[in-house]
Amino acid sequence: MITGTLTSETFLRAMELTPAPAEVYDEAYEATTQYVPWPKAYGGDMVAQAAAAMMRSVDEDRALHSMHSYFMRPVDVGATIRYEVERLRDGRGYSTRTVRGFQNGKAVYAAMGSFQVPEDGPDFQPEVPAAVEPDSLRSAAESLAGAEGPAANYWSAGRSFDMRHVPGPVYVELEGGPVAQQAIWVKAFDALPDDADLHRSALAYVCDYTILEPLLRVNGLHWSSPGLATASLDHSMWFHRDGRADEWILYAQEAVSGQSNRGLAMGRFFDRQGRLLATVAQEGMIRPGA
């Protein structure tokens, strides 16, 4: 039986950053990785926490518009990461930051971010892909009805966000066939505070849960495939327009390339009005079981 309360507290706990003495760069913050039923921490913890640390280092007149990350070492679950932020440049219109995540005395994560003072200018974006409405789709808990174990409980209630797959999930079997595209409707379980930076961090947090799934799907795999090993290698994200992560957002994804047990996938976040909020590109290690 699936157990657990549908709440966004896991995400909000991950976003609790505490100022700490800087040992390497200009300022530092500490944050804790959240529970997952696997040996290493969830990569979205690091992306969102690093984004939040960089956001704290800039003036309020500018917003994060791009971020590029590398995952260098496995990170312990439920442990503290110290994020050291370097203020590389503050110009009239743009600011640039780097951040390093340290755990157990070693660098485990590195990122660079750019911030812009908003300007008026031409507006262009692609059309939103056609997709069925989220209310007509099964939730993760409904898809996993009858499944047992910590992984099923986590997928159903432990990730802070309601996630509904088109054409179907890849938790314990491949639903929808070995195609290169999928889409997911995502929404925080709880209402989130009216903080644009927190909603950007929410997109950065949730994006890593499923961005490698098109690569699994195109190879006929699912998360429960025997012997499957995956890891996030690098991650890039561009924030285009403000939106709310506690309202339904369509996360359209595609597998771009796969080779040498690595794969590249891309994703786009659209709100219900069809506005493109953010774009994601991520490369991951995909090692099928023997």
Q: Is the pLDDT of residue 165 over 70?
A: yes
Q: Is the pLDDT of residue 288 over 70?
A: yes
Q: Is the pLDDT of residue 126 over 60?
A: yes
Report the C-alpha dihedral over residues 93, 95, 96, 100, rounded to 10 degrees. -160
Over the stretch 85-118, which tens digit does the pLDDT of each residue have?
Answer: 999 999 999 999 999 999 999 999 999 999 999 9
Q: Could you give phi then psi for residue 136, rounded to 5 degrees?
A: -90, -5
Strands (E), the chain: 18-20, 27-32, 63-71, 80-90, 94-103, 106-116, 161-166, 181-188, 229-239, 249-259, 262-271, 276-287
Using a pLDDT cut of 90, give the percent of the chain over it. Answer: 94
Quickly list H helices, 34-183.
43-55, 140-143, 150-157
> Which residue reads 């690595």 in tokens?
262
- Residues 6 or more apart in contact with residue 121 via CB below 8 angstroms: none
Token readout for 119 is 């300007």
- Calculate the CA 51 to chain-centre distance: 11
Token readout for 225 is 């495939």
Over the stretch 191-202, which tens digit does the pLDDT of each residue have?
Answer: 999 999 999 999
Band of residue 76 on the pLDDT scale cut at 50, 70, 90 = very high
Residues 63, 41: Cα–Cα separation, whole Å? 27
Helix (H, G, I), strand (E, B) or coil at 116: strand
Q: Is the pLDDT of residue 2 over 70?
A: no
Burial class (CB in 10 A: 0-12, 13-18, 19+), 288: middle
Over the stretch 41-68, which tens digit does the pLDDT of each residue have?
Answer: 999 999 999 999 999 999 999 999 999 9
Q: Is the pLDDT of residue 130 over 80?
A: yes
The pLDDT value recorded for residue 290 is: 58
Residues 122, 202: Cα–Cα separation, whole Å? 27
The pLDDT value recorded for residue 157 is: 94
The pLDDT value recorded for residue 276 is: 98
Residues 59, 63: Cα–Cα separation, whole Å? 9
The pLDDT value recorded for residue 289 is: 79
Q: Rounded mean pLDDT of the chain?
A: 96
The pLDDT value recorded for residue 3 is: 61
Band of residue 131 on the pLDDT scale cut at 50, 70, 90 = confident
Residues 253, 211: Cα–Cα separation, whole Å? 7
The pLDDT value recorded for residue 4 is: 67
Omega prior to 129 cis, within 30 of 0: no
The stretch 67-86 carries a mean pLDDT of 97
Over the stretch 210-245, which tens digit does the pLDDT of each residue have?
Answer: 999 999 999 999 999 999 999 999 999 999 999 999
